[in-house]
């Protein structure tokens, strides 16, 4: 299994997208919480099917 990481992507207008990778199940939500709280308001959230399967997953959260 790959190392658990959180990818931070900032587009050309400054919109931030946080995506956790290789963390099992719903745990990724807690893992990225500090980043979400620190960066701002969550305006969109997307979870992959893996989230519901309790398998390693990717979670995506956008911030304003």
Partner 1 sequence: MTDIRAVERACVMLNLAPPRQGKHKVYTQEVEGFAVELPDWRYPIVIIPGTGECKYDNYNGSWGRKDKLDQFCQRYGIAAAQCLAEDRGLTYTETRVEADGSMVFEVNLEEDQQHVTVGGGLTDGDSGPSGGL
Which residues of the chain form contacts with partner 1 (CB under 8 A)? 3-16, 18, 20, 23-25, 27, 30-31, 33-35, 37-40, 56
Tokens of 27: 């745990």
Which CB sits closer to partner 1, 12 or 49? 12
In this structure, are strands 5-10 and 42-47 parallel, antiparallel, or unpaired? Answer: unpaired
Tell me how far, at minimum, the Cβ of 44 lies from partner 1, in Å.
Answer: 15
Tell me how far, at minimum, the Cβ of 46 lies from partner 1, in Å.
Answer: 17
Check if the beta carbon of residue 6 is closer than 8 Å to that of residue 19: yes
Tell me how far, at minimum, the Cβ of 25 lies from partner 1, in Å.
Answer: 7
């Amino acid at each position: 299994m790959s190392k658990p990481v959180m990818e931070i992507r900032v587009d050309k207008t400054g919109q931030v997208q946080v995506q956790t990778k290789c963390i099992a199940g719903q745990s990724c939500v807690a893992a990225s919480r500090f980043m979400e709280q620190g960066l701002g308001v969550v305006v969109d959230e997307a979870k992959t099917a893996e989230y519901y399967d309790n398998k390693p997953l990717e979670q995506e959260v956008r911030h304003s």
